[in-house]
Amino acid sequence: MYYDVPGDRAEQRLGLSRLFVRAVSGVRREVLVLQRLEPAVHQCTCVLSLFKCRRYQWVIDATTGFPALDVVPLSDVVRLENVVPDFADLGRRRGLLGTPATTPDTPQERRRERYLTNAFFPWTTNSIVDAP
């Protein structure tokens, strides 16, 4: 989902929602814990790029080797976005049977993983002009 960066509404980020927190110690919070994505190198030969799908990669936390996390108030969520694995990239690295489920869960592999926004999914924007 796209979200405003806390403290800087001018900047928006894309992240994978991992946890919705409704309360902490009985106090209402309503925040999302998101794994942060950042733009990746554009593949001009990718057919999805011709249809304005954008390519992303994880922002890796150097101390853990896992994607960096943001804690975002629900009020800062801009909109949902359908994000899918870049299967062309995955196939080049892992072969025809390579899927996210069969890929090793290692820091090296997480650095190589790429994702694409899916402009064909009906509840996301189909216009690159509307996308942040």
Q: What is the pLDDT of residues 43-93, one digit of tens each?
A: 777 777 777 788 999 999 999 999 999 999 998 998 888 888 888 888 888
CA distance 53 to 61: 26
Token pair recorded at residue 124: 């996301």
* pLDDT, mean of residues 103-126: 80
Q: What is the pLDDT of residues 4-56, one digit of tens each?
A: 887 776 788 999 999 999 999 999 989 999 999 999 988 777 777 777 788 99
Question: pLDDT tier at 123 (50, 70, 90 boundaries)?
Answer: low
